[in-house]
Structure 1
Amino acid sequence: MDIARRNNVTVTGNPQGRTVVLAHGFGCDQNMWRLTVPALANDYRVVLFDYVGSGAADPTAFSEDRYGSLTGYARDVVEVCEAFDVRDAVFVGHSVSAMVGVLAAQMAPERVGALVMVAPSPRYVDDEGYRGGFSAEDIDELLESLEANYLGWSAAMAPLIMGNAERPELGEELTNSFCATDPDMARVFARTTFLSDSRDDLKGVRVPTLVLECTQDVIAPREVGAFVHETITGSKLVTLDATGHCPHLSAPEATNQAIRSFLADLK
């Protein structure tokens, strides 16, 4: 299989530097990292890709069986790393991709040597002693709305997810990204994302980890960032001066500074 074509892989930056893999979240693609790549390219080899079912990845490679769990997306990551001889990479995952990175590190520890989690959530549904931000009824309604009218759901939800109402162009960009995703594939990814529970997987993380949270985030409230930080031994938690769920777009300077500082400390 041509992994480069399947996942629309892009390799840029300094070929002599440590590899940083940038992984997008639900409804997005690698273009969401366009403000981060210039901050890394001089010193690091940067690998970007689209998950199957997203962006310009090969839609014929999509399988509901494979992508009905986060393990399928983690397999994409591992196979991209294998195809491009990525070893000891720093995996930067946004939103659900943070948990995909945890799974990929478990599958192939030689490929992933550190994690950066941007607005992560191991479980979106509240549980006893845990606040994920949504009740089970909230998630059921969200998924029912998405499945009934994906384009309408995207137009309503994307600006809320992005936040920063005073900058409507950001919400419009996320809306356009959502709407460019095949609705049937998006439904699978959405169910996989919002019904996932990766809390136990966090306990097995043994690599240096940076957790980036925002001051206000309707998808991943600060209680979630605290939980991730407390569960991963030795992790570092940074609260960005940013709002919304996509700080790499809404506050790229602060996000990039935090990532670069973490990378520098790894040397």
Structure 2
Amino acid sequence: MTLGDIQTRNNVKVSGQGEQTILLAHGFGCDQSMWHYIVPELAKQYRIVLFDYVGAGNSEILAYESEKYSTAHGYKQDILDIIDELELKDIHFVGHSVSSMIGMLAAIERPESFNKFVMVGPSPCYINEPGYVGGFEKSDISELLTMMEMNFTGWASYLAPIVTDPEKSPQHTKDLENSFASVDPQIAREFAEMTFLSDHRESLALMTIPTLILQCSEDSIVPLEVGEYLHEHLSGSLLKVMNVKGHYPQISEPLKTRELIETFLRHKC
């Protein structure tokens, strides 16, 4: 696959200036536009690389393969492809939600390519297990997946206000609902299954890149216990709990989110 193919496949966009690169990876039901509130300021100091996962945004939907993308490793490989083809080195990776784990798998496989790592609203496992609070029962996930199959538009309008703060910013909630609804229903469901049924807890001990964990104080998707669990199991990690409602602080509190990211990136570990 050539550079042009990968750029088209993942709608890769490069901007900004600076010697170091920040690679930003969006979460479930979204695309690279979810970073647009924080990118302009970051681009003043860093080279910014944005992309869409296959099936999201303006990616090449014909490149989607259900078998490849049934696990996080398929998406991980796309990240490594982008790193290789753009010849990225010593990068700072910022991943939202499930991208925190996808990116972590890439960093475990290729640690020499990474400098620092930021996880925004991450979770290694969304399902409650004995001795572990993930936030959902298996039956909750089954109901979510069934809703996506039976009434995809209704699912989008149901989930958007749950993961945002509609009272504070109804427009953000509407934008997210539109983003959810724009994804191909089959791809969205398969992405949701990959996300919510994955368990990456055993991989945490293999992560060696200095990591900032950004946890929202009122996140209906990721409870506070998850951030604390990650902090305990990721060696050398830093946990920052933001006084934010919702799962998208880069949208609801972009200034604070960017400041925390920049402070961490400037700090010498």
**TM-score normalised by the chain length of structure 2:** 0.96
Equivalent position SS for 1:102: helix
Aligned to 1:208: 210
Task: Identify the match of residue 137 of structure 2 among 131, 135, 138.
Answer: 135
| Superposition deviation, residue 164 in structure 1 | 4.1
1:4 aligns with 2:10: no
| Superposition deviation, residue 201 in structure 1 | 1.0
What's the % identity of the aligned pairs? Answer: 45
1:44 aligns with 2:40: no
| Superposition deviation, residue 163 in structure 1 | 2.8
Gaps of 5+ in 2: none
Task: Identify the match of residue 217 of structure 1 among 212, 216, 219.
Answer: 219
Relative distance call for 1:39 and 1:241 in structure 2 (3 A) is: farther
Q: Could you tell me how far apart the structure 2 residues matched to 1:210 and 1:171 are?
A: 26
Aligned to 2:99: 97
Equivalent position SS for 1:153: helix
What whole-Å deviation, never above 9, does each CA across 1:146-185 have from its counterpart, x for those lacking one? 1211111011111111234332111101100011111111
More displaced stretch, 217-226 vs 162-171: 162-171
Aligned to 1:197: 199
* Mapping 1:110-125, distance limit 5 Å: 110-125=112-127
Task: Identify the match of residue 65 of structure 1 among 67, 75, 94.
Answer: 67
* Mapping 1:1-267, distance limit 5 Å: 1=1, 2-14=5-17, 16-266=18-268
Q: Could you tell me how far apart the structure 2 residues matched to 1:219 and 1:204 are?
A: 25
Q: Which amino acid is 2:16 matched to?
A: G
Equivalent position SS for 1:22: strand
Equivalent position SS for 1:117: strand
RMSD over aligned CA atoms reads: 1.1
Report the number of matched residues: 266
Q: Could you tell me how far apart the structure 1 residues matched to 2:225 and 2:45 are?
A: 34
| Superposition deviation, residue 110 in structure 1 | 2.3
Q: Which amino acid is 1:263 matched to?
A: L
What whole-Å deviation, never above 9, does each CA across 1:88-121 have from its counterpart, x for those lacking one? 2111000000001110112222222221000001
Q: Could you tell me how far apart the structure 2 residues matched to 1:39 and 1:223 are?
A: 32
For the 8 Å contact 2:218–2:243, the answer to whether it is kept is no
Q: Could you tell me how far apart the structure 2 residues matched to 1:166 and 1:24 are?
A: 22
Q: Could you tell me how far apart the structure 2 residues matched to 1:126 and 1:58 are?
A: 35
Gaps of 5+ in 1: none
For the 8 Å contact 1:99–1:198, the answer to whether it is kept is yes
Q: Could you tell me how far apart the structure 2 residues matched to 1:167 and 1:18 are?
A: 33
